[in-house]
Amino acid sequence: MLEVFIWIGFLSSIAGAFCILAHEDYKAVKMQEELLKEQLEVNRRWDVINKHTRRMSERISEIHRESHERWLKEQSDRQS
């Protein structure tokens, strides 16, 4: 009879350990899901920032090119 109680205690301790591990695994999965959502949001924000930065850079290049062309024209007009 004592052996039955020993086995019950042994199996209960193993089951308890598995329950704790399962709970910790569940918490880890939930944390990973939250971090993935946050990372996707950060990536989306960076995509928007990069898009606007690229457009600003293109516009600055266009302004610089136009300014340089005007300067070249002014220089050629002065030499003529």
Question: Distance between CA 15 and CA 13 in Å, rounded?
Answer: 5
The model's pLDDT over 21-32, given as tens digits with 9 standing for 90+, comes to 999 999 999 999
pLDDT band at 1 (very low <50, low <70, confident <90, very high): confident
**What mean pLDDT comes out for the span 18-44?**
97
Q: Give yes or no for residue 80 having a pLDDT over 90.
A: no
**Rg of the chain over all Cα atoms, to the nearest angstrom:** 34
Question: Distance between CA 17 and CA 13 in Å, rounded?
Answer: 6
Question: Distance between CA 12 and CA 18 in Å, rounded?
Answer: 10
- Please give the pLDDT value at position 32: 98
- Please give the pLDDT value at position 78: 85
Residue closest to 12 by CA, chosen among 50, 72, 70, 20: 20
